[in-house]
A and B are shown apart, each in its own frame.
Chain A
Amino acid sequence: MFGSFLTFLSLDYSYGSLENMGPGFFPRWLGIIIFLSGCFLFLKNFLVETKVEISMREPLTVISSMMLIPIGYNYIGMIVLSISLIFLSTSCIKNFPLKEKFVLISIATVTLILIKLFFLPNLKL
């Protein structure tokens, strides 16, 4: 799928020639090779039974805690977003001590203040 998508997109760019390759030359052939390799892998593994266990809780928690910052930055300051990140990411672990959460929040807050003072004066706290 990726290979065919890449080849399709590369049609928008000029192909050129062997001695003067355009921007579409390399991605087109790359897409074709990926497509053919993918087909071969699919056929090779078609009859093979494999079980892949994906636990969704931890990846969802971690990724969504990261997403809080870009989503909320235009509306809320970085300190509140970092606190939310810490609370959400620590929800993976049962009975995470509240005291330890406050230690983490303190470290994050001090870091943000130092960044604003020394690196990014425009940082929205």
Chain B
Amino acid sequence: MIENLATGFEVVFTIQNLTFILLGCVIGTLVGVIPGIGPTASIAIVLPLTFSLEPVTGIMMLAGIYYGSQYGGSTTAILLNTPGENSSVMTCIDGNQMAKKGRPGIAIAAAAIGSFIAGVLMVIAIAFLSPLLSEVAFKFGPAEFALLMLFGLVSVIVFTDQDLLKGIVISLIGVSIGMIGADVNSGINRFTFDISELIDKISFVVVAIGLFAVPEIIKNLQHPESMTRFLSKFKIVPNKDEFRRIIPASLRGTFIGGILGLIPGGGITTASYAAYAFDKKMSKHKEEFGKGAIEGVAAPESANNAAAQSGFIPLLSLGIPENAVMALMLSSLMIFGITPGPLMIETQPELFWGLVISMLVGNFILLILNFPLIHIWVQVLRVPYRMLYPLILFFCCIGIFVTNTNIHELYILAAVSIFGYLLYVFDLSPVTFILGFVLGNMFEENFRRALSISQGDFSIFYSSTVSLIILFLIFLLIFVQFFRKRLLS
């Protein structure tokens, strides 16, 4: 373990890597602070620019954007009562109340300290759990991997709170679109209609930008928000009593976020809701919740950062992305020629341990960026959205063109953007589509391989203990979703 950590420190502490970790954290905080720009869209836009970097450097920067956005999202939640990210919704409740009572700085400090505690503890968890999980994963065969991917798809459908059947249909459409291009096993081009641009499969970056970035712009143009603003200077250092309340709430939030973050689709937003509700029950100051309780800020913020980072555990150890951002990370690793999974920790130790240590360094950087330097981010909030969205659109188009110098991909981007907008209009989740798009090919490959090994016998999918456990979890999820809907109706 010590040798591995030393490898990680050696990888991280170079001028180039430290610069890009800092850049990722700054971009992430900026993305989190500005409402209307999410980490998924931002990572999709920045992704093409990382192709000229070393894989380790690129991934560190992208990871920095992701967990950095969790830190930044609390700033607008507290100051403007508008969550910078979905995961900061709960922070609005007590954070904005604290701001109205003249304590915005203390609220921001609680969010920053909570996120920092969660970040550091989750880095330790990743360092211990990922290698353990990858040891278990060596017992997985193609059948187990196929079932695991199916579990990932089903849990995302269940947890994104849409009609189960609609979610299944959208996810299967995503799987179908992912099949366009050369078939992995036979090499035959499927559904390309003799269009050469489709032979190499539709670019994941195009799909991610078309589903997330562009519809977000359209949505924000249709529904501009009006905000009350707390943009003057304020005190930021909590006193002893406030620290005594922040620390236990942060530890509880970290635990809840860390567990929920491991479940595909369970995610960051669910973790922040659960942490808030749990802390409300456990707190000695229950009556303050909803009126400016400091625990009401620390708990959900630590939970969302913990969930964001624990999502790396299934990605790095099993190669399973549990949300759209992890799917982006998976795709970027594959573009770099690295296949995340049980073998990655052994074959690419500098990447794995470098990423783990970069998260530790990143959390320290973010504490400084979001605590003493918070007044700089407050100034960013003065930039109106109308100045940002044309640039975002410009960077989306140029980013895609620069990646493959293929201008025709912009036609595909336009088509995917229309589809993404329709998903938003009909209240369907693009996350299920994109996970179907990413996991579909992997599922098909493992499914075909498993049946080839068993010579067409389906019992391979329920003959081992691991596959039975995964099947049980899949049916449990479907049952819970069905039962929950019956109860609500």
Q: Which A positions have Cβ atoms within 8 angstroms of B?
A: 2, 6, 9, 13-14, 17-23, 25-27, 30-31, 33-34, 37-38, 40-41, 44, 52, 54-55, 58-59, 62-63, 65-67, 69-70, 73, 78, 82, 85-86, 89-90, 92-93, 96, 100, 103-104, 107-108, 111-112, 115, 119-120, 122
Known: A58-B218, A100-B386. A69 touches B183 (CB 8 A): no
Q: With contacts A34-B176, A41-B169, A66-B214 known, what are 6 further pairs, Cβ within 8 A?
A: A21-B185, A30-B179, A44-B165, A59-B218, A66-B396, A93-B221
Q: Do residues A103 and B387 form an inter-chain contact, with CB atoms below 8 A?
A: yes
A-B contact pairs, 23 of them (CB 8 A): A9-B191, A25-B448, A26-B448, A34-B173, A34-B176, A37-B168, A52-B426, A58-B221, A59-B218, A62-B214, A66-B214, A66-B396, A66-B413, A66-B417, A67-B411, A69-B410, A70-B410, A86-B394, A96-B386, A108-B391, A111-B398, A112-B398, A120-B402
Instruction: Specify which of A19, A41, A89, A119 is in contact with B52 (CB 8 Å cutoff).
Output: A119
- 6 shortest A-B CB distances, which residue pairs? A18-B456, A19-B456, A70-B410, A23-B183, A58-B221, A19-B455
Instruction: Specify which of B52, B191, B221, B410 is in contact with A66 (CB 8 Å cutoff).
Output: B410
- Separation in Å of the A76 CB from the closest CB of chain B? 12
Q: Do residues A27 and B391 form an inter-chain contact, with CB atoms below 8 A?
A: no
Interface centre among A19, A90, A108, A120, by most B CB within 10 Å?
A19
**Majority-rule SS of A interface residues:** helix
Is B397 at the interface (CB under 8 A from chain A)? Answer: yes
Instruction: Specify which of B190, B393, B421, B448 is in contact with A85 (CB 8 Å cutoff).
Output: B393
Q: Which B positions have Cβ atoms within 8 angstroms of A?
A: 52, 165-166, 168-169, 172-173, 175-176, 179, 183, 185-186, 188, 190-191, 214, 217-218, 221-222, 386-387, 389-391, 393-398, 401-402, 405, 407-408, 410-411, 413-414, 417-418, 421, 425-426, 444, 447-448, 451-452, 454-456
Q: Do residues A34 and B169 form an inter-chain contact, with CB atoms below 8 A?
A: yes
Q: Do residues B393 and A89 form an inter-chain contact, with CB atoms below 8 A?
A: yes
- Separation in Å of the B216 CB from the closest CB of chain A? 11
How distant is the Cα of A79 from the Cα of B306 in the complex, in angstroms? 43
Q: Which residues of A contact B411 (CB under 8 A)?
A: 67, 70
Q: Which residues of A contact B405 (CB under 8 A)?
A: 120, 122
Q: Which residues of A contact B165 (CB under 8 A)?
A: 37, 40-41, 44
Q: Which residues of A contact B393 (CB under 8 A)?
A: 62, 65-66, 85, 89
Q: Which residues of A contact B214 (CB under 8 A)?
A: 62-63, 66
Q: Do residues A67 and B414 form an inter-chain contact, with CB atoms below 8 A?
A: yes
Q: Which residues of A contact B52 (CB under 8 A)?
A: 119
In the complex, the chain A residue whose C-beta lies closest to that of B444 is A26
- Separation in Å of the B178 CB from the closest CB of chain A? 11
In the complex, the chain B residue whose C-beta lies closest to that of A92 is B221
Q: Do residues A90 and B390 form an inter-chain contact, with CB atoms below 8 A?
A: yes
How distant is the Cα of A90 from the Cα of B388 in the complex, in angstroms? 10
Q: Do residues A93 and B386 form an inter-chain contact, with CB atoms below 8 A?
A: yes
- Separation in Å of the B400 CB from the closest CB of chain A? 10
How distant is the Cα of A93 from the Cα of B183 in the complex, in angstroms? 45
How distant is the Cα of A54 from the Cα of B247 in the complex, in angstroms? 47
Q: Which residues of B contact A23 (CB under 8 A)?
A: 183, 185-186, 188, 190
How distant is the Cα of A120 from the Cα of B400 in the complex, in angstroms? 13
How distant is the Cα of A100 from the Cα of B456 in the complex, in angstroms? 64
Q: Which residues of B contact A58 (CB under 8 A)?
A: 218, 221-222
Instruction: Specify which of A18, A31, A55, A85 is in contact with B397 (CB 8 Å cutoff).
Output: A85
Q: Which residues of B contact A73 (CB under 8 A)?
A: 407
In the complex, the chain B residue whose C-beta lies closest to that of A64 is B414
Instruction: Specify which of A25, A26, A119 is in contact with B402 (CB 8 Å cutoff).
Output: A119
In the complex, the chain A residue whose C-beta lies closest to that of B193 is A9
Q: Which residues of B contact A54 (CB under 8 A)?
A: 425
Q: Which residues of B contact A115 (CB under 8 A)?
A: 398, 402
Known: A13-B190, A34-B173. A69 touches B390 (CB 8 A): no
Q: Do residues A108 and B394 form an inter-chain contact, with CB atoms below 8 A?
A: yes
How distant is the Cα of A40 from the Cα of B179 in the complex, in angstroms? 24
How distant is the Cα of A89 from the Cα of B413 in the complex, in angstroms? 16
- Separation in Å of the B149 CB from the closest CB of chain A? 13
- Separation in Å of the B282 CB from the closest CB of chain A? 41
Instruction: Specify which of A85, A92, A120 is in contact with B394 (CB 8 Å cutoff).
Output: A85
How distant is the Cα of A4 from the Cα of B451 in the complex, in angstroms? 26
Known: A26-B448, A37-B168. A104 touches B390 (CB 8 A): yes
How distant is the Cα of A14 from the Cα of B187 in the complex, in angstroms? 12
Q: Do residues B391 and A107 form an inter-chain contact, with CB atoms below 8 A?
A: yes
Q: Which residues of B contact A66 (CB under 8 A)?
A: 214, 393, 396-397, 410, 413-414, 417
How distant is the Cα of A88 from the Cα of B408 in the complex, in angstroms? 20
Q: Which residues of A contact B186 (CB under 8 A)?
A: 14, 22-23
How distant is the Cα of A27 from the Cα of B410 in the complex, in angstroms? 26
Q: Do residues B217 and A62 form an inter-chain contact, with CB atoms below 8 A?
A: yes
- Separation in Å of the A123 CB from the closest CB of chain B? 8
